[in-house]
Structure 1
Amino acid sequence: MSIEQSSQKVEAQFFDVIQDRRSVRYYDSEVKISREEMKDILQLATLAPSGANLQPWRFLVIDSQELKQKLLPIANSQQQVIEASAVIAVLGDLEGYTMAEKVYGMAVDAGYMPEETAKSFVERYQRLFASMPPENVLQKVLIDSGLVSMQLMLVARAKGYDTVPMGGFDPIKFVEEFNIPARYAPVMLIAIGKAAKPGHRTLRLPLEDVAFFNELPKA
Protein backbone atom coordinates (compact mmCIF):
# COMPACT_ATOMS: atom_id res chain seq x y z
CA MET A 1 0.00 0.00 0.00
CA SER A 2 1.36 3.39 -0.99
CA ILE A 3 1.68 6.31 1.43
CA GLU A 4 -1.15 8.05 -0.43
CA GLN A 5 -3.42 4.99 -0.15
CA SER A 6 -2.59 4.61 3.53
CA SER A 7 -3.38 8.27 4.13
CA GLN A 8 -6.70 7.95 2.29
CA LYS A 9 -7.62 4.90 4.40
CA VAL A 10 -6.91 6.74 7.66
CA GLU A 11 -8.86 9.75 6.40
CA ALA A 12 -11.85 7.56 5.48
CA GLN A 13 -11.83 5.90 8.92
CA PHE A 14 -11.74 9.29 10.63
CA PHE A 15 -14.62 10.61 8.53
CA ASP A 16 -16.62 7.46 9.32
CA VAL A 17 -16.24 8.16 13.05
CA ILE A 18 -17.49 11.73 12.61
CA GLN A 19 -20.40 10.76 10.37
CA ASP A 20 -21.44 7.75 12.47
CA ARG A 21 -21.59 9.61 15.77
CA ARG A 22 -25.18 10.08 16.89
CA SER A 23 -26.82 11.35 20.04
CA VAL A 24 -28.10 8.03 21.38
CA ARG A 25 -30.81 7.99 24.06
CA TYR A 26 -31.57 4.25 24.30
CA TYR A 27 -28.84 1.96 25.61
CA ASP A 28 -28.28 -1.73 26.15
CA SER A 29 -28.19 -1.87 29.94
CA GLU A 30 -26.39 -5.23 29.83
CA VAL A 31 -23.27 -3.69 28.29
CA LYS A 32 -20.68 -2.51 30.79
CA ILE A 33 -17.52 -0.57 30.01
CA SER A 34 -14.60 -1.77 32.11
CA ARG A 35 -12.71 0.73 34.24
CA GLU A 36 -9.60 0.01 32.18
CA GLU A 37 -11.32 0.85 28.89
CA MET A 38 -13.04 3.89 30.40
CA LYS A 39 -9.66 5.20 31.54
CA ASP A 40 -8.31 4.67 28.02
CA ILE A 41 -11.21 6.67 26.53
CA LEU A 42 -10.67 9.50 29.01
CA GLN A 43 -6.91 9.50 28.47
CA LEU A 44 -7.33 9.87 24.72
CA ALA A 45 -9.96 12.58 25.25
CA THR A 46 -7.46 14.62 27.28
CA LEU A 47 -5.31 15.02 24.17
CA ALA A 48 -7.74 17.83 23.28
CA PRO A 49 -6.27 21.34 23.18
CA SER A 50 -6.71 23.83 26.02
CA GLY A 51 -5.68 27.40 26.72
CA ALA A 52 -2.00 27.48 27.73
CA ASN A 53 -2.29 23.66 27.95
CA LEU A 54 -3.66 24.02 31.48
CA GLN A 55 -6.25 21.26 30.90
CA PRO A 56 -8.91 22.58 33.32
CA TRP A 57 -11.30 19.67 32.72
CA ARG A 58 -12.19 17.11 35.35
CA PHE A 59 -14.35 14.00 34.96
CA LEU A 60 -16.65 12.39 37.49
CA VAL A 61 -17.52 8.96 36.09
CA ILE A 62 -20.79 7.69 37.55
CA ASP A 63 -21.10 3.96 36.85
CA SER A 64 -22.71 2.79 40.08
CA GLN A 65 -26.36 1.87 39.51
CA GLU A 66 -27.28 3.35 42.87
CA LEU A 67 -25.67 6.70 41.99
CA LYS A 68 -27.23 6.69 38.52
CA GLN A 69 -30.62 6.33 40.21
CA LYS A 70 -29.69 9.30 42.39
CA LEU A 71 -28.72 11.27 39.29
CA LEU A 72 -31.92 10.42 37.37
CA PRO A 73 -34.23 13.12 38.83
CA ILE A 74 -31.42 15.69 38.68
CA ALA A 75 -31.11 14.95 34.95
CA ASN A 76 -34.81 15.49 34.28
CA SER A 77 -35.53 11.74 34.44
CA GLN A 78 -33.78 11.05 31.14
CA GLN A 79 -33.81 7.26 30.90
CA GLN A 80 -30.34 7.02 29.35
CA VAL A 81 -28.94 7.92 32.76
CA ILE A 82 -30.06 4.52 34.03
CA GLU A 83 -29.52 2.44 30.89
CA ALA A 84 -26.08 3.68 29.79
CA SER A 85 -22.93 2.00 31.04
CA ALA A 86 -21.94 5.24 32.74
CA VAL A 87 -22.61 8.94 32.88
CA ILE A 88 -19.57 11.19 32.74
CA ALA A 89 -19.98 14.55 34.44
CA VAL A 90 -17.62 17.02 32.76
CA LEU A 91 -16.51 19.64 35.25
CA GLY A 92 -14.50 22.79 34.65
CA ASP A 93 -11.82 23.46 37.25
CA LEU A 94 -11.93 27.20 38.00
CA GLU A 95 -8.62 26.83 39.83
CA GLY A 96 -7.01 24.70 37.15
CA TYR A 97 -4.25 27.28 36.73
CA THR A 98 -2.81 26.10 40.06
CA MET A 99 -1.67 22.98 38.17
CA ALA A 100 0.60 25.07 35.94
CA GLU A 101 3.74 24.06 37.79
CA LYS A 102 2.97 20.37 37.29
CA VAL A 103 1.94 20.83 33.63
CA TYR A 104 5.09 22.70 32.66
CA GLY A 105 7.29 20.60 34.93
CA MET A 106 6.20 17.54 32.95
CA ALA A 107 7.13 19.37 29.74
CA VAL A 108 10.60 20.09 31.15
CA ASP A 109 11.08 16.46 32.24
CA ALA A 110 10.08 15.29 28.75
CA GLY A 111 12.60 17.63 27.14
CA TYR A 112 9.91 19.72 25.44
CA MET A 113 10.70 22.98 27.21
CA PRO A 114 13.69 24.63 28.95
CA GLU A 115 13.32 24.98 32.70
CA GLU A 116 13.54 28.79 32.59
CA THR A 117 10.77 28.97 30.01
CA ALA A 118 8.56 26.73 32.14
CA LYS A 119 9.20 28.88 35.20
CA SER A 120 8.21 32.05 33.33
CA PHE A 121 5.03 30.38 32.03
CA VAL A 122 4.05 29.25 35.52
CA GLU A 123 4.49 32.74 36.94
CA ARG A 124 2.69 34.37 34.02
CA TYR A 125 -0.41 32.18 34.01
CA GLN A 126 -0.80 31.92 37.76
CA ARG A 127 -0.63 35.71 38.00
CA LEU A 128 -2.98 36.16 35.02
CA PHE A 129 -5.69 33.78 36.21
CA ALA A 130 -5.50 34.83 39.85
CA SER A 131 -6.27 38.43 38.82
CA MET A 132 -8.89 37.59 36.19
CA PRO A 133 -12.60 38.27 36.90
CA PRO A 134 -14.39 35.00 37.80
CA GLU A 135 -16.71 35.25 34.78
CA ASN A 136 -13.68 35.39 32.45
CA VAL A 137 -12.12 32.35 34.09
CA LEU A 138 -15.44 30.50 33.72
CA GLN A 139 -15.67 31.39 30.04
CA LYS A 140 -12.20 30.01 29.34
CA VAL A 141 -12.89 26.86 31.34
CA LEU A 142 -16.17 26.27 29.50
CA ILE A 143 -14.42 26.53 26.13
CA ASP A 144 -11.77 24.00 27.11
CA SER A 145 -14.34 21.66 28.66
CA GLY A 146 -16.37 21.79 25.43
CA LEU A 147 -13.30 20.81 23.42
CA VAL A 148 -12.51 17.80 25.61
CA SER A 149 -16.18 16.73 25.63
CA MET A 150 -16.37 16.57 21.84
CA GLN A 151 -13.11 14.66 21.69
CA LEU A 152 -14.38 12.22 24.30
CA MET A 153 -17.49 11.49 22.24
CA LEU A 154 -15.45 10.90 19.08
CA VAL A 155 -13.04 8.59 20.91
CA ALA A 156 -16.01 6.63 22.26
CA ARG A 157 -17.45 6.25 18.74
CA ALA A 158 -14.07 5.11 17.39
CA LYS A 159 -14.09 2.39 20.06
CA GLY A 160 -17.60 1.27 19.11
CA TYR A 161 -19.52 3.02 21.87
CA ASP A 162 -22.28 5.60 21.73
CA THR A 163 -22.85 8.82 23.63
CA VAL A 164 -25.23 11.69 24.17
CA PRO A 165 -24.29 15.06 25.68
CA MET A 166 -26.83 16.34 28.18
CA GLY A 167 -27.21 19.96 29.16
CA GLY A 168 -30.66 19.22 30.58
CA PHE A 169 -29.86 18.77 34.25
CA ASP A 170 -30.05 20.85 37.42
CA PRO A 171 -26.45 21.95 38.13
CA ILE A 172 -27.30 23.30 41.59
CA LYS A 173 -28.87 20.01 42.71
CA PHE A 174 -26.03 18.09 41.08
CA VAL A 175 -23.46 20.05 43.07
CA GLU A 176 -25.43 19.52 46.28
CA GLU A 177 -26.20 15.82 45.86
CA PHE A 178 -22.76 14.81 44.63
CA ASN A 179 -20.77 17.06 46.98
CA ILE A 180 -18.99 18.96 44.22
CA PRO A 181 -16.50 21.52 45.61
CA ALA A 182 -17.04 25.17 44.63
CA ARG A 183 -13.95 25.22 42.41
CA TYR A 184 -15.66 22.89 39.90
CA ALA A 185 -18.30 24.16 37.46
CA PRO A 186 -20.63 21.48 36.02
CA VAL A 187 -20.48 21.77 32.22
CA MET A 188 -22.43 18.79 30.90
CA LEU A 189 -23.30 15.15 31.45
CA ILE A 190 -22.33 12.58 28.82
CA ALA A 191 -24.08 9.21 28.79
CA ILE A 192 -21.88 6.49 27.29
CA GLY A 193 -22.59 2.87 26.39
CA LYS A 194 -23.86 0.67 23.57
CA ALA A 195 -26.94 1.75 21.65
CA ALA A 196 -30.10 -0.34 22.00
CA LYS A 197 -31.66 1.79 19.25
CA PRO A 198 -29.75 3.87 16.70
CA GLY A 199 -29.68 7.60 17.26
CA HIS A 200 -31.98 9.62 15.01
CA ARG A 201 -30.39 10.93 11.84
CA THR A 202 -30.32 14.71 11.74
CA LEU A 203 -29.54 17.36 9.18
CA ARG A 204 -27.29 20.40 9.34
CA LEU A 205 -27.85 23.88 7.99
CA PRO A 206 -26.33 24.53 4.56
CA LEU A 207 -22.76 25.77 4.82
CA GLU A 208 -23.70 29.08 3.23
CA ASP A 209 -25.91 29.77 6.25
CA VAL A 210 -23.12 29.32 8.79
CA ALA A 211 -19.75 30.03 7.11
CA PHE A 212 -18.59 33.31 5.64
CA PHE A 213 -15.29 34.50 4.24
CA ASN A 214 -13.67 37.75 5.35
CA GLU A 215 -16.90 39.46 6.44
CA LEU A 216 -20.29 38.62 7.87
CA PRO A 217 -23.43 39.41 5.88
CA LYS A 218 -25.23 42.56 6.84
CA ALA A 219 -28.18 41.96 9.13
Structure 2
Amino acid sequence: MSGKNCKVAVLISGSGSNLQALLTASNKTEAPFSVCKVISNRPEAYGLARAAEAGVPTSVVDHHDFSSREAFDRALIEAIDRQSPDLVVLAGFMRILTPEFVRHYRGRLLNIHPSLLPKYQGLHTHRRALQAGDSEHGATVHFVTEELDGGPPIVQATVPVQAGDTPETLASRVQVQEHAIYPLAVTWFAEHRLHMRGERALLDDTLLPHSGIRLTG
Protein backbone atom coordinates (compact mmCIF):
# COMPACT_ATOMS: atom_id res chain seq x y z
CA MET A 1 0.00 0.00 0.00
CA SER A 2 1.48 3.34 -0.98
CA GLY A 3 0.76 6.61 0.78
CA LYS A 4 -1.30 7.06 3.92
CA ASN A 5 -4.29 5.22 2.47
CA CYS A 6 -5.35 3.34 5.62
CA LYS A 7 -7.72 5.50 7.64
CA VAL A 8 -7.65 4.79 11.38
CA ALA A 9 -10.28 5.86 13.91
CA VAL A 10 -9.03 5.87 17.50
CA LEU A 11 -11.27 5.54 20.58
CA ILE A 12 -10.00 6.92 23.88
CA SER A 13 -11.17 7.58 27.42
CA GLY A 14 -8.16 9.26 29.03
CA SER A 15 -4.78 10.86 28.51
CA GLY A 16 -4.15 9.25 25.14
CA SER A 17 -0.50 8.25 25.43
CA ASN A 18 -0.98 5.37 22.98
CA LEU A 19 -2.92 7.75 20.74
CA GLN A 20 0.11 10.05 20.80
CA ALA A 21 2.35 7.16 19.77
CA LEU A 22 0.04 6.48 16.82
CA LEU A 23 -0.10 10.17 15.86
CA THR A 24 3.69 10.41 15.98
CA ALA A 25 4.08 7.28 13.88
CA SER A 26 1.50 8.45 11.33
CA ASN A 27 3.42 11.68 10.78
CA LYS A 28 6.43 9.83 9.42
CA THR A 29 6.78 10.15 5.67
CA GLU A 30 6.76 6.41 5.10
CA ALA A 31 3.76 5.70 7.37
CA PRO A 32 1.01 3.80 5.50
CA PHE A 33 -1.79 5.04 7.77
CA SER A 34 -3.35 8.25 9.03
CA VAL A 35 -5.55 8.94 12.05
CA CYS A 36 -8.81 10.24 10.57
CA LYS A 37 -10.80 10.70 13.79
CA VAL A 38 -10.45 10.52 17.56
CA ILE A 39 -13.59 9.79 19.57
CA SER A 40 -13.90 9.80 23.35
CA ASN A 41 -16.65 8.75 25.70
CA ARG A 42 -15.39 11.35 28.19
CA PRO A 43 -15.43 15.04 27.24
CA GLU A 44 -12.56 15.81 29.64
CA ALA A 45 -10.17 13.25 28.13
CA TYR A 46 -6.77 14.85 27.54
CA GLY A 47 -6.32 12.76 24.42
CA LEU A 48 -8.81 15.05 22.69
CA ALA A 49 -6.35 17.92 23.12
CA ARG A 50 -3.55 15.78 21.72
CA ALA A 51 -5.65 15.07 18.64
CA ALA A 52 -6.65 18.70 18.18
CA GLU A 53 -3.03 19.79 18.40
CA ALA A 54 -2.22 17.29 15.64
CA GLY A 55 -5.04 18.64 13.50
CA VAL A 56 -7.13 15.47 13.77
CA PRO A 57 -10.93 15.86 14.02
CA THR A 58 -12.45 14.84 17.34
CA SER A 59 -15.86 14.12 18.76
CA VAL A 60 -17.39 13.02 22.05
CA VAL A 61 -20.02 10.34 22.48
CA ASP A 62 -20.66 10.57 26.22
CA HIS A 63 -21.89 7.27 27.61
CA HIS A 64 -23.76 9.14 30.34
CA ASP A 65 -26.15 10.43 27.68
CA PHE A 66 -27.50 6.95 26.92
CA SER A 67 -29.87 4.72 28.83
CA SER A 68 -28.18 1.46 27.84
CA ARG A 69 -24.86 0.07 26.68
CA GLU A 70 -26.52 -0.98 23.42
CA ALA A 71 -27.79 2.53 22.68
CA PHE A 72 -24.37 4.00 23.38
CA ASP A 73 -22.61 1.52 21.12
CA ARG A 74 -25.06 2.17 18.29
CA ALA A 75 -24.36 5.90 18.55
CA LEU A 76 -20.65 5.17 18.65
CA ILE A 77 -20.89 3.04 15.50
CA GLU A 78 -22.68 5.88 13.76
CA ALA A 79 -19.99 8.38 14.77
CA ILE A 80 -17.20 6.08 13.60
CA ASP A 81 -18.80 5.10 10.32
CA ARG A 82 -19.21 8.72 9.24
CA GLN A 83 -15.44 8.60 8.67
CA SER A 84 -15.46 5.27 6.78
CA PRO A 85 -12.29 4.09 8.55
CA ASP A 86 -10.40 1.00 7.47
CA LEU A 87 -9.38 0.21 11.06
CA VAL A 88 -10.72 1.04 14.52
CA VAL A 89 -8.19 1.18 17.35
CA LEU A 90 -8.98 1.13 21.07
CA ALA A 91 -6.39 3.21 22.94
CA GLY A 92 -7.32 3.22 26.59
CA PHE A 93 -11.04 3.10 25.78
CA MET A 94 -12.55 2.12 29.11
CA ARG A 95 -15.81 0.60 27.97
CA ILE A 96 -16.88 -3.01 27.59
CA LEU A 97 -18.19 -3.22 24.05
CA THR A 98 -21.38 -5.02 23.08
CA PRO A 99 -21.31 -8.06 20.78
CA GLU A 100 -23.13 -5.97 18.17
CA PHE A 101 -20.27 -3.45 18.11
CA VAL A 102 -17.56 -6.09 17.98
CA ARG A 103 -19.25 -7.99 15.17
CA HIS A 104 -19.67 -4.79 13.16
CA TYR A 105 -15.89 -4.25 13.09
CA ARG A 106 -14.75 -7.85 13.21
CA GLY A 107 -11.29 -8.25 11.73
CA ARG A 108 -10.59 -4.52 11.79
CA LEU A 109 -10.76 -3.73 15.50
CA LEU A 110 -7.57 -3.70 17.59
CA ASN A 111 -6.87 -3.25 21.29
CA ILE A 112 -3.76 -3.08 23.43
CA HIS A 113 -3.81 -4.70 26.86
CA PRO A 114 -1.17 -4.25 29.60
CA SER A 115 -0.36 -7.91 30.21
CA LEU A 116 1.04 -10.91 28.40
CA LEU A 117 -2.30 -12.36 27.39
CA PRO A 118 -3.90 -14.72 28.15
CA LYS A 119 -2.55 -13.77 31.58
CA TYR A 120 -4.44 -11.12 33.51
CA GLN A 121 -7.43 -10.26 31.42
CA GLY A 122 -9.30 -7.30 32.84
CA LEU A 123 -8.03 -4.66 35.26
CA HIS A 124 -5.12 -4.17 37.70
CA THR A 125 -2.72 -6.22 35.60
CA HIS A 126 0.51 -4.78 37.01
CA ARG A 127 -0.51 -5.42 40.61
CA ARG A 128 -1.63 -8.94 39.73
CA ALA A 129 1.69 -9.72 38.01
CA LEU A 130 3.60 -8.56 41.09
CA GLN A 131 1.36 -10.50 43.47
CA ALA A 132 1.92 -13.64 41.39
CA GLY A 133 5.70 -13.23 41.60
CA ASP A 134 6.11 -13.14 37.82
CA SER A 135 9.60 -12.64 36.45
CA GLU A 136 8.33 -10.87 33.33
CA HIS A 137 5.36 -8.76 32.36
CA GLY A 138 4.38 -6.81 29.30
CA ALA A 139 1.69 -5.78 26.83
CA THR A 140 -0.27 -7.40 24.02
CA VAL A 141 -1.85 -6.00 20.87
CA HIS A 142 -4.75 -8.20 19.81
CA PHE A 143 -7.78 -8.34 17.56
CA VAL A 144 -10.97 -7.70 19.49
CA THR A 145 -13.60 -10.43 19.75
CA GLU A 146 -16.64 -10.81 21.95
CA GLU A 147 -14.52 -12.31 24.75
CA LEU A 148 -13.06 -9.54 26.91
CA ASP A 149 -9.31 -9.33 26.20
CA GLY A 150 -9.67 -12.73 24.55
CA GLY A 151 -9.15 -12.00 20.86
CA PRO A 152 -6.18 -13.44 18.94
CA PRO A 153 -2.87 -11.84 19.98
CA ILE A 154 -0.77 -10.17 17.30
CA VAL A 155 2.37 -8.94 19.05
CA GLN A 156 3.60 -8.89 22.64
CA ALA A 157 6.43 -6.96 24.27
CA THR A 158 7.99 -8.19 27.49
CA VAL A 159 9.79 -6.37 30.29
CA PRO A 160 11.57 -7.95 33.26
CA VAL A 161 10.02 -7.53 36.66
CA GLN A 162 12.65 -5.92 38.89
CA ALA A 163 13.21 -6.20 42.61
CA GLY A 164 11.36 -3.41 44.37
CA ASP A 165 8.93 -2.82 41.52
CA THR A 166 5.60 -1.24 42.33
CA PRO A 167 2.55 -1.34 40.06
CA GLU A 168 3.45 2.21 39.04
CA THR A 169 7.09 1.56 38.13
CA LEU A 170 6.18 -1.60 36.28
CA ALA A 171 3.39 0.20 34.42
CA SER A 172 5.76 2.93 33.27
CA ARG A 173 8.16 0.43 31.68
CA VAL A 174 5.33 -1.52 30.08
CA GLN A 175 3.91 1.67 28.63
CA VAL A 176 7.17 2.40 26.81
CA GLN A 177 6.77 -0.93 25.04
CA GLU A 178 3.09 -0.27 24.31
CA HIS A 179 4.12 2.85 22.42
CA ALA A 180 6.40 0.74 20.23
CA ILE A 181 4.21 -2.25 19.43
CA TYR A 182 0.88 -0.52 18.80
CA PRO A 183 2.11 1.53 15.81
CA LEU A 184 3.88 -1.60 14.57
CA ALA A 185 0.66 -3.64 14.53
CA VAL A 186 -1.29 -0.81 12.91
CA THR A 187 1.42 -0.51 10.23
CA TRP A 188 1.18 -4.24 9.49
CA PHE A 189 -2.58 -3.92 9.07
CA ALA A 190 -2.24 -0.84 6.87
CA GLU A 191 0.22 -2.70 4.64
CA HIS A 192 -2.31 -5.54 4.19
CA ARG A 193 0.10 -7.91 5.95
CA LEU A 194 -2.07 -8.50 9.04
CA HIS A 195 -5.42 -10.27 8.94
CA MET A 196 -7.78 -12.21 11.18
CA ARG A 197 -8.96 -15.61 10.01
CA GLY A 198 -11.43 -17.38 12.23
CA GLU A 199 -10.03 -16.96 15.74
CA ARG A 200 -6.39 -16.58 14.70
CA ALA A 201 -4.18 -13.71 13.56
CA LEU A 202 -2.12 -14.04 10.39
CA LEU A 203 0.94 -12.04 9.38
CA ASP A 204 2.13 -12.40 5.79
CA ASP A 205 -0.36 -15.27 5.38
CA THR A 206 1.29 -17.20 8.23
CA LEU A 207 -0.67 -18.12 11.35
CA LEU A 208 0.83 -16.40 14.36
CA PRO A 209 1.50 -18.29 17.60
CA HIS A 210 -1.37 -18.30 20.08
CA SER A 211 0.52 -15.65 22.07
CA GLY A 212 1.41 -13.61 18.99
CA ILE A 213 4.89 -12.49 18.04
CA ARG A 214 6.89 -11.85 21.21
CA LEU A 215 9.42 -9.03 21.39
CA THR A 216 11.75 -8.38 24.32
CA GLY A 217 11.79 -4.84 25.61
Q: TM-score, normalised by structure 2?
A: 0.27
Compare the two structures and name the one with the higher helix fraction. 1
Larger Rg: 1
Q: TM-score, normalised by structure 1?
A: 0.26
Q: Larger RCO: Structure 1 or Structure 2 (Cα < 8 Å, ≥ 6 residues apart)? A: 1
